[in-house]
Structures are given as structure tokens and as C-alpha cells.
């Protein structure tokens, strides 16, 4: 039986009522113990902790969630409640359980405020679900005097790791006894402010600047991901695959030319093809009527341009979390073939990714949910809240250039660096 950090209270209830539009969601969160999932101004924020499951695998967390849902009394006053209304949990999972000291978690909050499609609601979870709620708004506190330092590797050291990955790919089966087509390598950057960081400030900045992304805050992991690992609502499953990136210049005409070049780049198209194929293969046993576009489109974000493909399918029985387990790790964050890429990462990356590139998101009692890939993010230190560890990564294939990959990783650090600006 799954073990929780705190025992599940007897007769756990979840009560949901419709409310007037609560306004700006980040300001509703307390400064500590908060969660967020936002896009285009909608989404959910929450706080408190009814129960936490320290998961060893995503599959095990999904089993625990089904058992929990079976014993909870739900009282939802919304007609045709949207996904996320009612009993739900926020979650964040490590990239590689065999290569980290971090812990995955699925957390049931005490309170959730949600807004979607012009409707808003509040859910109270616990043994006293009738506890009234009235909005309390606290000012967001910007970080002050933030300094940055190299993480585990300096820029030149990381370039050397990329060069080693390229050598192994080009060496084929002679390197480590296996063929390797693509491997995703990550790096980190350390930031420190002169006072405790307010995660709500980071959420607000990211949600405003990257509204097309999914902004998240779960257990100190905060970011804005452009990549949806899986979204399940009713019978429809959607996965957005990103692979192939170029930094924007800020000049519209030059960026238009860069977008055209990206769409024709053999290196980037090769990397993207691996990622799309891995998602389609993983979803196939659980879905029907799958649609995989023949070619990607260019997703324009404020800092970068991505090659993107939206894979859609009719979901069968699995929950969003079960689908996330089937998809993780995709070629977009690990490589191809999966086992060869994962072993290469363990051997040469020299980094504990923790929950970077793992699934992050939420699930409700119906199994609907959204699980993004934890990208463009940072992990606030649990022992020193003035510190945050930022992450970025790049897909390495046979034609990769270490200097260009370092420049791409720096572009991917821009969202978090900007959010930390005063």
C-alpha cells in the first residue's frame, strides 16, 4: 500500500462552489506553501497541504491517487464542472529516480481557487469542507540584488560535455556498446538574492511575460513551460512536442528569417522528428484515432523560436497521470533511444537534475489533468530561500556544435533570469 507523509484524515471531503471572478490569481496565494498552474490568465492557485504522497514512480503515484479518490466524499455545486474543479492534486516528479537525491510528490491542497472559460470556483478539501473563504490579497515582493554564479559546470566545461556527446553519437555502437541518435544535456546556474525570494512574484512575472506557456509552482519548483507532456480532458488527449530552438533577436524581420531557417534546418528537423516519434509510440497503446501532423510549426515565444508539433488522440481509460507515466521521458528531454540516452546522461552530464524535465502539473478525481514538462524553471532552496537553482538543456545530435548549444541554453535561461530582475 502506498505510504503518505501524513496519514489520510478520516472522511476526507472536497466541497466546490462557484464564485465571482476572483481577479488576479497570483495575489490570492499566501507567500509560503502555495501552488500555481496558470495560462492566459486562467488556471488554478492553491495552498495548504491535506496530504502528500512521496512517490517513487509516476505509476505508483497514479495508483495511490485512485485509491485516495475512491474514499473521498465530493460535493460540487457547479453544473458541468470544468476539469480541475473538485478534488485535485498538484504534482511534480523527478526526471530520473535512479540519478537524483530529490523527491517526487503528489500534494492535495487545502484550498484551490480556479478560473476557466469564464467561470470561477473555490474548492475546500479536508475534514471541515464548509470553512468559509474570503479573498485576502498580499503584495508581491520583488527580489533584490540578485547575483548569478556557475552551477556544477562552467560554460566551457559544459561545451566539453556536449563535444563528448557528439563524439559518442558519431562513433555509433563503438561508444559504450550502443547506438545513440540523440541525447539531451542539462546545465544549471545558481542565483542568490539578499532576502528570501517570493515565489508568487516569479509566478506573476512568468505568467505575464510568457502567457502562451504554462506557468507552475509546485513545492518550490517554479517556471513557465512551453511543452505540454499530456493534457487529458474527457476523451481527448493532447501532447505538444518541442525540439529545435533558436534565439530571437528582437528584430521582427530578422526573426521572420530565423523562423524560416529553423523550419528548414536539417539538424533541428532531425531532432524534432525523434521527439515526435517517441511521443506517438508511447501514446499508441492507450489511445486511438491519433493525429500526428506531417511537419512542425514554429512556436514564437518572447525569447526563442521552437519547432512544435501538437499530437492529438482519443484517450481510452488511462488517467492523465497514467499517460504521463507512459510518455516520460520523451526524446525531447532524454534522447533516442531512451535507455541509451538515459545512460549517457548518467555518465557524462555531471548534474543532479532533480525535478527539472520531469512531469509537473495536476490531476483531478475524474483523471483529467495537465502535465507539462518542467522546463524554463528554477528550484528554490528548501534550506536557504534566498537561493534558486536555474536549469536549461539542449538536444544534442550528430551535427550539434558545442558553442551554439551553449548559446541556446543561455537563451532558455532568459525567462527565469528576467523574472528574477527587480
117 contacts: CB under 8 Å, gap ≥ 6? 42, 82
Helix/strand/coil for 90: strand
Catalytic residue among 74, 227, 349, 354: 227
Which grid coordinates are listed for 274? 525523434
The question of whether 182 is a catalytic residue gets the answer yes
Let me know: does 332 contact 282? Beta carbons within 8 Å. no
The question of whether 412 is a catalytic residue gets the answer no
Catalytic residue among 182, 233, 271, 412: 182
Let me know: does 325 contact 57? Beta carbons within 8 Å. yes
Let me know: does 370 contact 37? Beta carbons within 8 Å. yes
Widest CA span of the chain, in angstroms? 65
C-alpha to C-alpha distance for 144 and 203, rounded to whole angstroms: 16
Residue 49: how many CB atoms within 10 A of its CB? 18
C-alpha to C-alpha distance for 222 and 213, rounded to whole angstroms: 13
388 contacts: CB under 8 Å, gap ≥ 6? 190, 191, 192, 197, 222, 378, 379, 380, 381, 416, 420
**Residues designated catalytic:** 182, 227
Amino acid at each position: 500500500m502506498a505510504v503518505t507523509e501524513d496519514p489520510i484524515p478520516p472522511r476526507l471531503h472536497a466541497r466546490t462552489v462557484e464564485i465571482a471572478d476572483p481577479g488576479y490569481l497570483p495575489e490570492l496565494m499566501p507567500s509560503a506553501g502555495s501552488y500555481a498552474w496558470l495560462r492566459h490568465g486562467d488556471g488554478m492557485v492553491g495552498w495548504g497541504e491535506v496530504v502528500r504522497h512521496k512517490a517513487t514512480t509516476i505509476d505508483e503515484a497514479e495508483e495511490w491517487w485512485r485509491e485516495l479518490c475512491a474514499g473521498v466524499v465530493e460535493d460540487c455545486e457547479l453544473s458541468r464542472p470544468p476539469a480541475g474543479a473538485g478534488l485535485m492534486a498538484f504534482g511534480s516528479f523527478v526526471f530520473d529516480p535512479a540519478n537524483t537525491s530529490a523527491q517526487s510528490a503528489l500534494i492535495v491542497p487545502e484550498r484551490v481557487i480556479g478560473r476557466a472559460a469564464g467561470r470561477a470556483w473555490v474548492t475546500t478539501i479536508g475534514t471541515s469542507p464548509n470553512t468559509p473563504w474570503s479573498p485576502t490579497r498580499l503584495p508581491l515582493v520583488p527580489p533584490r540584488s540578485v547575483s548569478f554564479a556557475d552551477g556544477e559546470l562552467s560554460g566551457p566545461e559544459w561545451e566539453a560535455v556536449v563535444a563528448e556527446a557528439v563524439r559518442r553519437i558519431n562513433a555509433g555502437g563503438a561508444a559504450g556498446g550502443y547506438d545513440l541518435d540523440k541525447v539531451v544535456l542539462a546545465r544549471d546556474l545558481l542565483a542568490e538574492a539578499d532576502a528570501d525570494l517570493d515565489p508568487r512574484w516569479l509566478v506573476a512575472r512568468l505568467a505575464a511575460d510568457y502567457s502562451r506557456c504554462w506557468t507552475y509552482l509546485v513545492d518550490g519548483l517554479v517556471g513557465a513551460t512551453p511543452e505540454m507532456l499530456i493534457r487529458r480532458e474527457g476523451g481527448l488527449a493532447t501532447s505538444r512536442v518541442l525540439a529545435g530552438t533558436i534565439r530571437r533577436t528582437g528584430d521582427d524581420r530578422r526573426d521572420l528569417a530565423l523562423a524560416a531557417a529553423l523550419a528548414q534546418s536539417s539538424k533541428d528537423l532531425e531532432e524534432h522528428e525523434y521527439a515526435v516519434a517517441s511521443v506517438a509510440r508511447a501514446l499508441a497503446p492507450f489511445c486511438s484515432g491519433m493525429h500526428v501532423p506531417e511537419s512542425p510549426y514554429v512556436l514564437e515565444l518572447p525569447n526563442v523560436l521552437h519547432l512544435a508539433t501538437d499530437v492529438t488522440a482519443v484517450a481510452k481509460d488511462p488517467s492523465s497521470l497514467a499517460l504521463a507515466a507512459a510518455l516520460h521521458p520523451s526524446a525531447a528531454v532524454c534522447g533516442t533511444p531512451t535507455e541509451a540516452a538515459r545512460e549517457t546522461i548518467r555518465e557524462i552530464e555531471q548534474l543532479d537534475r532533480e525535478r527539472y524535465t520531469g512531469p509537473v502539473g495536476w490531476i483531478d478525481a475524474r483523471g483529467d489533468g495537465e502535465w507539462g514538462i518542467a522546463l524554463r524553471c528554477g528550484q528554490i532552496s528548501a534550506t536557504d530561500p534566498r537561493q534558486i537553482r536555474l536549469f536549461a538543456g539542449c538536444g544534442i545530435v550528430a551535427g550539434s556544435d558545442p558553442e551554439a548549444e551553449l548559446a541556446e541554453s543561455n537563451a532558455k535561461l532568459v525567462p527565469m533570469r528576467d523574472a528574477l530582475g527587480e
